[in-house]
């Protein structure tokens, strides 16, 4: 891999010579080179920095740690995927936090703000401080947005090369800048250039029950598949709901009838199970589940 070849050549550089690569990369970008062209050397500089930090004592969230990470090849590939705007799936423990340093540094060379969206304030602070040792070595500034942070400090964090924060903080700062701020100096964010969403499934799916509505109308240039299949899906859902209502009504009548034979009770419980699988939030089902005996027997099916 070319990145590793370049990184190997960087071993002969002093710390000062490696640190001088950042202004060199920035000048070359201003002169017309693209970030894609700079990628192998920029990634190599980040990996070389991680190697030089190896074994050093660092402080992260008031705790002393020993730096013990150097980018593996799979992490370099993950960094390239993130730079290209793709989703990179990595298992827990494979170093997603370290992977993000590669494209964040690369895109920060443009002079525009690179952002990383993470799940909560603690992770934003931890990752900014932890990975900040790489950025600071290379002369790149890093900031972190936290809840209840005053506007002047928020503005300072966004004016740094790389900014960590949560989806809600980034989103509401955008809304405030574009809805409540009446003067340019009241706004805190700058341009939106590059962003990595950590735990993208959690932030955009699991935690998106009350989404931030920050998008404008998009013109539909061609009919979307959703518009074609929506009526059929609605018909299927309605039919399933009616069937579940029928089953749960029959089950309730059987269970509440005095002296119901055992066989009919088993039939009623099977109908409850069908409703649980097909419409678990059915109100009648929820009421029947309040009876401990029926709930325990249903759980055994």
**Contact 113/163 with Cβ under 8 angstroms?**
yes
The torsion of the CA quartet 127, 20, 159, 103, rounded to 10 degrees, works out to -50
Q: Which pLDDT belongs to residue 268?
A: 87
CA–CA–CA angle 8, 42, 45 (5° rounding): 45
Mean pLDDT over 3-23 rounds to 97
pLDDT band at 300 (very low <50, low <70, confident <90, very high): confident
- Cα dist from 185 to 85, 177, 179, whole Å: 31, 10, 14
pLDDT band at 295 (very low <50, low <70, confident <90, very high): confident
pLDDT over threshold 90, residue 261 = no
Q: Which pLDDT belongs to residue 51?
A: 97
pLDDT over threshold 60, residue 225 = yes
Mean pLDDT over 55-64 rounds to 95
pLDDT over threshold 60, residue 286 = yes
Percent share of the chain, pLDDT over 90: 61
- Give the model confidence (pLDDT) of 114-149 as tens digits: 999 998 999 999 999 999 999 999 999 999 999 999
- Give the model confidence (pLDDT) of 81-111 as tens digits: 999 999 898 887 788 999 999 999 999 999 9
Q: Which pLDDT belongs to residue 221?
A: 58
What's the pTM value of the predicted model, to 2 decimals?
Answer: 0.69
| Phi-psi map region of 72: left, alpha, beta (phi>0 left; psi -120 to 50 alpha) | beta
Higher per-residue pLDDT: 165 or 295: 165
Q: Which pLDDT belongs to residue 264?
A: 84
Element (H, E) at 134: helix 121-137
Beta bridge partners of 162: 114, 142
Phi and psi at residue 198, to the nearest 5° = -75, 145
**Residue ranges of the domains in the chain?**
2-206, 225-300
Question: 259 by DSSP, 3-state: which?
Answer: coil
| Phi-psi map region of 16: left, alpha, beta (phi>0 left; psi -120 to 50 alpha) | alpha
pLDDT over threshold 60, residue 299 = yes
pLDDT over threshold 90, residue 18 = yes
Count of CB atoms situated within 10 Å of the CB of 226: 8
Higher per-residue pLDDT: 217 or 45: 45
CA distance 175 to 152: 17
Q: Which pLDDT belongs to residue 166?
A: 94
> Per mean pLDDT, which range of 3-12, 149-158, 203-212, 249-258 is the poorest?
203-212
**Contact 245/282 with Cβ under 8 angstroms?**
yes
pLDDT over threshold 70, residue 275 = yes
Q: Which pLDDT belongs to residue 216?
A: 55
Which of 161, 155, 81 has its CA nearest to residue 128?
Answer: 161
Q: Which pLDDT belongs to residue 157?
A: 97
CATH T-level assignment (fold) for domain 2-206: Rossmann fold (3.40.50)
Mean pLDDT over 11-19 rounds to 97
Place of tokens 């894609």: 36
Q: Which pLDDT belongs to residue 204?
A: 72
CA distance 31 to 33: 6
Beta bridge partners of 57: 66
Q: Which pLDDT belongs to residue 219?
A: 60
Mean pLDDT of all residues belonging to the chain: 89
- Cα dist from 250 to 239, 267, 272, 294, whole Å: 17, 10, 9, 15
Place of tokens 């703000």: 113
**Contact 134/50 with Cβ under 8 angstroms?**
yes
pLDDT over threshold 60, residue 73 = yes
Which of 48, 43, 56, 39 has its CA nearest to residue 14?
Answer: 48
Q: Which pLDDT belongs to residue 52?
A: 97
Higher per-residue pLDDT: 38 or 91: 38
């Amino acid at each position: 891999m070319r990145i590793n070849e370049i990184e190997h050549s960087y071993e002969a550089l002093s710390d000062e010579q490696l640190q001088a690569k950042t202004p060199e990369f920035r000048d070359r970008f201003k002169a017309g080179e693209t970030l894609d062209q700079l990628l192998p050397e920029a990634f190599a500089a980040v990996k070389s920095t991680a190697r030089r930090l190896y074994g050093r004592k660092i402080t992260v969230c008031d705790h002393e740690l020993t730096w013990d990470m150097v980018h593996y090849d799979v992490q370099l590939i993950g960094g390239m995927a993130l730079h290209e705007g793709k989703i990179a799936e990595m298992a827990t423990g494979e170093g997603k936090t370290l992977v993000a340093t590669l494209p964040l540094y690369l895109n920060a060379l443009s002079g525009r703000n690179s952002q990383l969206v993470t799940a909560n304030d603690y992770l934003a602070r931890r990752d900014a401080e932890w990975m900040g040792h790489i950025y600071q070595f290379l002369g790149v500034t890093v900031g972190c947005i936290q809840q209840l942070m005053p506007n002047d400090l928020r503005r300072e964090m966004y004016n740094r090369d790389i900014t960590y924060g949560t989806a809600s903080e980034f989103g509401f700062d955008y809304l405030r800048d574009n809805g409540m701020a009446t003067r340019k100096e009241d706004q805190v964010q700058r341009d939106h250039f590059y962003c990595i969403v950590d735990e993208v499934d959690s932030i955009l799916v699991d935690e998106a029950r009350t989404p931030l509505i920050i998008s404008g109308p998009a013109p539909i240039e061609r009919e979307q598949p959703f518009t074609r299949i929506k009526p059929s899906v609605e018909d299927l859902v309605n039919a399933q709901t009616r069937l579940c209502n029928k089953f749960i009504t029959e089950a309730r009548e059987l269970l509440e009838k005095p002296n119901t034979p055992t066989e009919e009770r088993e039939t009623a419980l099977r109908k409850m199970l069908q409703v649980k699988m097909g419409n678990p939030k059915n109100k009648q089902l929820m009421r029947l589940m309040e009876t401990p005996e029926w709930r325990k027997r249903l759980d055994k099916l």
